[in-house]
Amino acid sequence: MKENILFICGSLNQTIQMHKISQHLSDYNLFFTPYYADGFLKFLTNLGILDFTVLGGEFKRKTLEYLQKNNLQIDYEGKSRYYDLVFTCQDLIIPKNIRNSRVILVQEGMTDPENLWYKIVKNTGLPRWAASTSMTGLSDLYDVFCVASDGYKELFIKKGVKEEKIRVTGIPNFDNVKEILNLDFEHKNYVLVATSDMRETFKYENRKKLIRKAQEIANGRKLIFKLHPNEKFQKREAEIKKYAPEALVYYGVPIEPMIAHCDVLITRYSSVVYLALALGKEVYSDIDSETLKKLMPIQNDGTSAKLIAEEGRKLLEFAYPKVKVSYYVPFWKTFRRKKLLDSKS
């Protein structure tokens, strides 16, 4: 009897990564779902209050559109069956109905810096999602954590992630950067600014300062802004045109071809900086270049998805008693499973 595997998706980037992993597990029953939550967060999601996050809005719409377009089986919120294995794109939220399944956490890309909110959440026990992706990996509610590089392994261990759970596999979409050089774009040799959705997610950003910095770096060269998919296009475009009327503004198109043909990339906190860095582009970021080089995802010719899938196969071959559940997992059963895992490690 084939075992069931659930892939919990999020942003389009995370969804594509999950799809790539699934292609190496076609001999199992595979199902996909947008990112989801329980309890109060689910209530807020249903009201549309969290549409600016991967729990709803444009993120969920694009995920469902991608899954349907690629004829992938959807099991919304993993409700219809028990799952022997779950791949999730983030552990800021671990739904109750997967807590008795084997779970593999897959790093998406760059994580947020360890700012004041990170310290508050870590020291007070507030929900992990309150500090965003800076808390990635700290749930400990997974069996394996697949990360981008040895640099990230070191970073996560310093934060408190258990070393024995980490596997340096590289991550899909960032493990074969040279392939984007074959992509076409209508402009060449320009300065590219990849903006963020910080303000849409209630963080502070001085966009005027970023625009002025970009003009200074461009120094007469063509200047192009690529808006984050979660930004309000018309409002942000008007803002850029106010301070940099000469700049071109793009939205809703892939950034990879734009990075392939730029001379310089300017960003704040974005995983796309790794694409530019791997291609030897001049890079400006809020993170210093030495740190970026240390953290940069390993380049393994696009084999990360296969390596992550193999971690899943290992877990499925690992025999221990399972209690099949659909929603709530009693604490004592979760504890029993953890105890069994610890005794086998």
pLDDT in tens, 110-143: 888 888 888 999 888 888 988 889 999 999 999 9
At residue 336, does pLDDT exceed 80? no
| Length of the chain in terms of residues written | 345
Spell out where 17-171 has E strands.
29-33, 85-88, 102-106, 144-147, 166-168
For 321, counting Cβ atoms within 10 Å of its Cβ (0-12 exposed, 13-18 middle, 19+ buried), the class is exposed
Give the domains, in start order, of the chain with CATH numbers.
4-174+298-344 (3.40.50), 177-295 (3.40.50.2000)
Give per-residue pLDDT as tens, 206-224.
Answer: 899 999 999 999 999 999 9
Higher pLDDT, 269 or 54: 54
- Give the pLDDT of residue 326: 39
86: closest CA among 306, 304, 303, 312? 312
pLDDT score for 252: 87
* The pLDDT of residue 66: 96
Alpha-carbon distance 53 to 7, whole Å? 18
pLDDT tens, position by position, 38-64: 999 999 999 999 988 899 998 999 999
Question: pLDDT of 175-188, one tens digit each?
Answer: 999 999 999 999 99
| C-beta separation of 121 from 144 below 8 A | no
The larger pLDDT score, comparing residue 170 to residue 268, is at 170
CA distances from 54 to 57, 96, 324 (A): 8, 18, 28
Q: Which of 197-206, 281-290, 327-336 has the lowest mean pLDDT?
A: 327-336
Q: Residues 89-95: what's their mean pLDDT? A: 95
Q: How much is the mean pLDDT over the chain? A: 89
E-strand spans in the chain?
A: 4-8, 29-33, 85-88, 102-106, 144-147, 166-168, 191-194, 223-226, 248-250, 264-266, 282-284
Tens digits of per-residue pLDDT, 289-304? 889 999 999 999 999 9
Of 4-18, 24-38, 67-81, 127-141, the poorest mean pLDDT is in 127-141
Confidence (pLDDT) at 131 = 86
Name the pairing type of β-strands 191-194 and 102-106.
Answer: unpaired
Give the span between the Cα atoms of 291 and 268, in whole angstroms: 14
pLDDT digits (tens, 9 = 90+) for 161-177: 999 999 999 999 999 99
- Residue 170 sits at the vertex; the CA angle it makes with 165 and 172, to the nearest 5 degrees, is 120
Q: How confident is the model at residue 95 (pLDDT cuts 50, 70, 90)?
A: very high
Of the candidates 215, 274, 223, the residue with the CA atom closest to the CA atom of residue 248 = 223
Task: Return d(Cα 297, Cα 124) in angstroms, integer.
Answer: 32
The runs of H, that is alpha helices, within 203-255 are 207-218, 233-243
Q: What is the pLDDT of residue 335?
A: 46
> What average pLDDT score do residues 257-271 get?
93
8 A C-beta contact, residue 226 and residue 254: no
Tell me what pLDDT residue 205 has.
82
As a whole number of angstroms, the distance between CA 174 and CA 246 comes to 32
| Distance between CA atoms of residues 3 and 1, nearest Å | 6
Instruction: For residue 243, count CB atoms less than 10 angstroms from its CB and return exposed for 0-12, middle for 13-18, buried for 19 or more.
Output: middle
- At residue 330, the pLDDT reads 44
Q: 137-151, 154-168, 218-232, 308-322: which has the minimum mean pLDDT?
A: 308-322
* pLDDT at residue 343 is higher than 60: no
